[in-house]
Structure 1
Amino acid sequence: MIGVVPAPRTVIEAFLPFEGEVGLGLVYDTANAAGVGDQPLRLAIRRMAAAGEVIQTGRGRGGSLALTGRGRERLLRDRLGLRLAFAQDAGEAPWDGCWRLLAFSVQEDERSVRDTLRRRLLDAGAAPLTPGLYVSPHDLTGMLDEPAQLIRATARELDVRGVTAPLAVAERLWPAGPIAGGYAAVEPVIAEPAADPLVQQLRLAEALERAIRDDPLIPLELRDSPWAPARIRRAWLAAWNESSDGRLYRGWLD
């Protein structure tokens, strides 16, 4: 039995449709089957409701849950990265050869704003070049909410402390080893599926989410070939399609 237990939030988000609602009885029962207890699930729902991401109607297993506009925007933003990963793996999103530079346009004394920008840039996969200056091989416009607070530029060449070759730059800024190592837990989940298809999908979702969380999704042109995470994601997608019956993450790969 694979020891991957999905996070309560993973279970909740898996069932939430973009439109409409889901009965909490199914959510609780599937969470329990996957090893998630009622109390952690209730706590996750409360936190998501407090953040304005979901609305709960009714109580306990007899209630239902629906996304708010804010929650829908958050999930859409999260899924941009997933769609990019699969597009890159399929050869449908080649690198255009441009580096995107992003700098803060925020006063030095606005520390909380600067900290928020820094965190969101890092979460989007950008790497720091100097304090306040970040770089990415991707256009991160859709991943960031603060376009007016950023100064942007595009460069065809990048010199990082004397390193100029694109693959070497990528390795300097986004070392491959830790990223590839993060996918080690995905393959066992694929190889030993759970008997319950819904539980298996939750385990697959949790394993990939953990791996992709710290993956900046550098274009394959900037990695040595073969790139193990791409191979594992392709195997993951095949396993997901085989186990999916359309009840979880409806539309998330569209």
Structure 2
Amino acid sequence: MLDSLVSGAPLSAQVWLVQMLAYHGIGLWFEWLDRSGALKRFKVKRMERIGYFELLPRVLANQTFVLLPAMLFVQWAGLAFVGSPTISLPVFVACVAAMTIGHDIVQYIAHRFILHRPDMMRRLGHAVHHSTIGSLGISACYMSAADFFLEIVCPYLIPLALVPLGTNFLVHSLVVASGAFGGLYEHSGYDFSLTLRESGDGRAPGRLRLALARMISTEAHSAHHSRGNVSFSDGFGSTNICDTLFRTRFDLVPERGAAKA
């Protein structure tokens, strides 16, 4: 019965369901890691003062009453989740690359120039998200509805509307599942790049290991939560284009109070 219900739903709703299963499944996995201490050597940030189930209601409200209607709307308007069900590998790769760049640009504009404006920080509720320290995976979507729309929904759906991703269910599922993991991981307080930065023989790790470590590090978004004025779109899976171009990348901005050379 559930299968027939899902198969009869709009593609956008089906993809939303996959996103929810991925987000909350991975979120619970990070919660299990926190409770069990299974990978505690990779936990680089202290635990949040607020717990998983205290954050959950607001997260679910954002996903159900903001994200789902927005996804249904863009399909109804013919902007996304429409077209051919088949997509070639080169087109898929090009679409994912374009969406990644588009996500970087849209999120940077919304995050830096709107949400972090002093007069908008509380008015639009971005302060709610910053009431967490980025050490609990599910906090990725713990924010006001306006913040969630500008920082999560728009960077996903605007680039999606500009690329011919078509109606392939598996393709859309891969996109949302990978996005869910990225957001949860960079808010989890874990940094799995530590294993690449360490060398068992005591020698400094090579360039390839350091490059891979940089790609999977959560240091950038962690710095955003702790410093507030850096890495507005720089994070796990990001192209880092805007933060690099505007010199707001965490490793390009001196920490407040640091002595100038």
TM-score normalised according to structure 1 size: 0.26
TM-score normalised according to structure 2 size: 0.26
Larger radius of gyration between Structure 1 and Structure 2? 1
